Amino acid sequence: MHKYIIRSLFTVALTFPLALPQFALAADTEEYRWNLQDLYANGAAFDKDVLMLQTQLTEIAGCNTHLGDSLNSFKTCMDLNTDLLKRYARIASYASQSHHQDTGATAGLELKQRADVLGSQFEQATSFVRPEILAMGEKKVRAYLAKDKSLLIYSHTIDNLLRSASHTLDKKGEELIATFGMATNTASAVYSTLSNSEMPWPKVTLSTGQEIVIDQSAYTKYRSSNNRQDRKLVFDAFWGKWKEFERSYGVTFYEMLKKDAAYAKVRNYPDSLTQALDGNKLPREVYDTLISQTQANLPTLHRYFRLRAKMLGLPDLGYHDMYPSLVNSDLKFPIKEGNQLMLASVKPLGDDYVKAMTKATTERWIDVYPRSKKRSGAYMNGAAYDVHPYLLLNYNDDYASVSTLAHEWGHAMHSYLANQAQPFISADYPIFTAEIASTTNEVFLLDHMLKVAKSDDERLLYLGSALENIRGTFFRQAMFADFERIVHAKVDKGESVTGAALTKIYGDILKRYHGDKDGAMKIDDLYATEWAYIPHFYNSFYVFQYATSIAAGSMFADDILKGKSGAKNKYLNILKAGGSAYPYELVKAAGVDLASPAPYQAVFARMNKIMDYIEAIQAKRQ
């Protein structure tokens, strides 16, 4: 269970970090920083809860070999395990967010490390639960649930556990796996340390004469420069540096691939992908249909690239031309205006939704602005069940920031509604449904912005952003999923992969998806080292759910905006359900089957409709 909560502790919204200036914006006052005192009033309160957790770890040891002694013993131990999990989620949230608000501060790092150790201790202390429940047998467990209605909150958890019987080891085996938990995250830790703290980033001199260090934040900022030569300079310098470390990143990633293959084998799965999908009972057809549908509809993506080249006035399009806005705009959206636009856009979800979100935006749930050593990117953490969700942004007063704001608040409202409707044990939802809430809000935002836009130039800004969102959230994530499926399969079969081999595999996929042979976009071989940069690859078979979610979210949003009978309630019921049902079945029951081509075809149709809209505006100007 520890692994489950950690996997979903932070719902990460962006594949790449947002631009992160070296210094905080002037508006970065206390009002715009999250209030961690809602979690713990001070360090002493945190230490007290840690001590309570450690006491409970000792107490739950008494449940070992006694879980099924009686109905009372079963209930006592299950409730204690749940309280442990809830307490640990709060501790881990406080520790991680303390670290993320200033990654250079030793105090925050020490808190995070303490929480990591506690997490491993928790996993070891409770490793007996799964094998003991399975040893009790389904008949006895079901009988306990029938006799005591208070145990029904565990129905889905136990059903999922009983389903995994053939993949659960005996007690000693589970204890051994839990013990090794402390030693199996090396690859991710090395990647994170090297990429964020120790990479010797290159310097370049821009056309303006400004000398800059091209670290991850600067790359994200300057890759969208309006000067094409500067973009190429930034790309070559940045990816050239990753190329220098291709061998080291290859070793690191290979170690993670081997770990996944080993766990799949130990747990009697045919391969890593099957194990990853089985955790939430996701059919293999969802993954395979996503990739096959994406590959078959790459001409839609290539149409976008040709439209991008035309709008930017380029005779050809290179990978370094991917990030400039299709429309130059000096429009600014301060956070208060961003909040107002977001709140107006979600009115189709009803007064209760809007009222709750309005109140939440005033209560310091969010750390808004970028500053030196703050974690880059954006995420929502809804794991602190008895408190409230927390959001991290790096808001830059542009439209992309407003879109990210809507995305993250979609996650936050999902957690808020699930926590209101569900007991703790079934409130935490998997990524498969998490990204539906965020992408649905983005569709609502675009619809609203097009209605309030004052000019075609403004509409083009929003439409261009929507196109880029589909490229980045759907096609790019499907491409990543394609890469993951290939490299994991190789290692599952006992093959080795080097950094150079990974670059070759990724480069072939990158060129195919971007139409290199067809002339849609030129991909320089140097840029094929991009695989080494993607942090999500260290959370295996994770990113495909961005693509499935935007497909489902688009369908739900369209139905709601059209006023389709029952559509709003079906959607909100998914959010309120949290993790109380299997996610694929939950979404399918609401009318979207992600194992079928239909939702993906809807994404392609939406993308083509947006391009038709843009071309119609352009035609008026000729």
DSSP 541-571: T-THHHHHHHHHHHHHHHHHHTT-TTHHHHH
- 116 closest CA partner among 170, 188, 62: 188
CA dist 345 and 354 (Å) reads 9
- Residue 392: φ, ψ to 5°: -115, 130
Residues annotated catalytic, as ranges: 408
Sign of CA dihedral 516, 519, 520, 524: positive
Kindly state the DSSP code that residue 19 receives in the 8-state scheme.
P
- Identify the bridge partners of residue 385 per DSSP, sorted by sequence position: none
Opening angle at CA 231, ends 229 and 236, nearest 5: 95
Asked whether the beta carbons of 81 and 2 are under 8 A apart, the reply is: no
CA dist 245 and 320 (Å) reads 21
Sheet containing 379-381: give its strands across.
Answer: 11-12, 379-381, 390-392, 366-367
- Residue 96 is encoded by which pair of tokens? 């991680």
Kindly state the DSSP code that residue 475 receives in the 8-state scheme.
I
- Residue 62 is encoded by which pair of tokens? 């008494």
To the nearest 10°, the Cα dihedral for 61, 64, 66, 67?
100
- Identify the bridge partners of residue 205 per DSSP, sorted by sequence position: 211
Asked whether the beta carbons of 140 and 158 are under 8 A apart, the reply is: no
104: number of Cβ within 10 Å: 11
Q: 366-367 and 203-205 as β-strands: parallel, antiparallel, unpaired?
A: unpaired
583: number of Cβ within 10 Å: 24
446: number of Cβ within 10 Å: 20
The H or E element containing residue 203 is: strand 203-205
The H or E element containing residue 418 is: helix 399-421
CA dist 484 and 479 (Å) reads 9
